[in-house]
Amino acid sequence: MPHHSLAFKFSVAWLALMALLSLLADGLPLPSPDAQDLNNMLAGPSGSHWLGADSLGRDILARTVHGLRLTFLVSFASVGLALVIGTCLGISAGYIGGWYDRGLSLGLNVLLAFPPLVLIVALVAYPGNMLIKIIASLALVFVPSITRIARASTLRFARLDFVAAAKVAGLSHHRIITRELMPNVLPVLLAYAFLLLGIGALAEAGLSYLGLGMPPSVPTLGGMMAAEQARILDAPHAVFFPGLVLFLTIFAINIVGERFNAGSEGARR
């Protein structure tokens, strides 16, 4: 797809830049994200505050970078967790089959019976460590779809000759699963998981916006926007800069993800 290559390159570059910024957030020559400066309340972009300041005079660029770090942390951790669980469940369901497979898919159907956002919100409302709750509940929402894809591609590969040959050769189940099935199933899953990163980032932002995510003292992109939206007419930059960064990042993830996914589409069928 040559006409996509420019957008694709920009997306990769943007993601690399954002990943770098959020990894190095503490070492960057930026003001502390929590440092208040009442002389600069709602100040527009300037030399000292590149993206301006919020209603407490806190540097928006610094808060955006730290907020992005949390967004990345939540989406990578939840997708990673779901990938580990879903791969194990899906491959074992496809390989073992029978009642185990049926029981598992019934359990997944129950999970799918909850509207995702309501499930997440209900779990997050529970007392406990917020970060762990957010990651775990997002992972729980991602597990069914990953399991289904893992199961379907396991079934497909399990019918092929090389797996049958491995069985005849008397290889152990463990060896067949890790050496023969995993290497074939994983690429398909990784391409799909990349698209989930964008959904994870959207969900984290939504929770923070609703005030159901991390405590208000922690800078999050959604929380920044919720806190400043009442002053949107005086200081649109305080609302829309975090929103723009969030949007561009998710857009880039989706563009790269669609490309990967299109590449593995043939393999999935």
Partner 1 sequence: MIDSKPKRLQVPALRRWVASSLTLLLTLFAVSVLSFLLVALLPGDVATTLLGDSATPERSAELRKELGLDQPLPRQYGTWLGKVMQGDLGQTFNSGEAISDMILARVPVTLELILLTQLLALAIAIPLGVWTAYKAGSVFDRLSLSVSLALLSMPTFVFALLLVYAVALKVPLLPSNGYAPLSDGLWANLRHMVLPVTTLALMEVPVYMRLLRSEMLTTLQQNFILLAKGMGLSLSRTLFQHALRPSSLSLITLVGLNMGRLMGGALIIETMFVLPGVGLLLVESIFQQEYLLTQAIVLFVAVAFILINTLTDWLYAWVDPRLKH
Q: How far is the CB of 55 from partner 1 (least distance, A)?
A: 16
Residues paired with residue 53 on neighbouring β-strands, in sequence order: 59
Residue among 145, 18, 33, 21 at smallest CA distance from 89: 145
Of 54 and 258, the one with the shorter C-beta distance to partner 1 is 258
Q: How far is the CB of 247 from partner 1 (least distance, A)?
A: 5
Q: How far is the CB of 58 from partner 1 (least distance, A)?
A: 19
Residue among 186, 183, 189 at smallest CA distance from 143: 189
Of 31 and 243, the one with the shorter C-beta distance to partner 1 is 243
> Cβ distance 188 to 262 under 8 Å?
no
Q: How far is the CB of 224 from partner 1 (least distance, A)?
A: 11
Residue among 101, 136, 142 at smallest CA distance from 122: 136
Of 87 and 154, the one with the shorter C-beta distance to partner 1 is 154
Of 29 and 98, the one with the shorter C-beta distance to partner 1 is 98
Residue among 80, 82, 88 at smallest CA distance from 185: 88
Residues interacting with partner 1, by CB under 8 A? 3, 7, 95-98, 106, 109-110, 113-118, 121-122, 125-128, 155, 158-159, 163-164, 167, 198, 202, 205-206, 209-212, 222, 225-226, 229, 232-233, 236, 239-240, 243, 246-247, 250-251, 253-255, 258
Residue among 126, 79, 120 at smallest CA distance from 210: 120
Of 57 and 236, the one with the shorter C-beta distance to partner 1 is 236
Q: How far is the CB of 35 from partner 1 (least distance, A)?
A: 26
Of 38 and 125, the one with the shorter C-beta distance to partner 1 is 125
CA distance 126 to 140: 15
CA distance 50 to 62: 9
CA distance 220 to 181: 40
Q: How far is the CB of 64 from partner 1 (least distance, A)?
A: 13
